[in-house]
Structure 1
């Protein structure tokens, strides 16, 4: 029985493939640059669209809040819009006929 006494020789790996035939070369580099530029442009466009949606939502909330405050102030003063008929004008008086 041999306990750690002998070292078995390990073979050293030899290169069997030409390193120039397995590297991506200029075509691989150019492809990666195009992909990187496309990703950067997509991220830029996505950020612009998200910002636009956020601004629209903020404006919509401000308009809703303004409309709600106008309705509250109209209720507080006792004015309402029930005096108008369906065509948008005032209802005719019975005396004017």
Structure 2
């Protein structure tokens, strides 16, 4: 009984033709339009601003490390120049 109804349904679905679109697609329905452009532009702008911020932060960290190395070198040079008074 169920198999018979499934067989009839599959035959009916196989025999039903699928509609085919006629004509060329409408350009207004295919393109993202102004909203898509604005969203894409904002995402690109955010990516550029984040990259600039990242470069600025990396540069700041590198400069701080260079300054710390220079201060450590100066401190070591001062310690080497000082005579030992612990005797």
- The aligned counterpart of 2:52 is 44
Greater helix content: 2
Query: Which one has the largest radius of gyration?
Result: 1
* Count of paired positions: 66
- The aligned counterpart of 1:95 is none
TM-score between the two structures when normalised by the length of structure 2 = 0.66
Q: Where does the alignment leave 5 or more consecutive residues of structure 2 unmatched?
A: 1-21
Structure having greater relative contact order (Cα 8 Å, sep ≥ 6): 1
Aligned pair partner of 2:81 in 59, 73, 76: 73
- Separation in structure 2 between the aligned mates of residue 25 and residue 79 of structure 1, nearest angstrom: 81
Q: Where does the alignment leave 5 or more consecutive residues of structure 1 unmatched?
A: 1-13, 83-97
TM-score between the two structures when normalised by the length of structure 1 = 0.60
How do 1:9-88 residues align onto structure 2 when only pairs under 5 Å count? 16-74=24-82, 77-80=83-86
- Separation in structure 2 between the aligned mates of residue 71 and residue 24 of structure 1, nearest angstrom: 69
Q: Which runs of 4+ in 1 moved over 6 A?
A: none
- The aligned counterpart of 1:88 is none
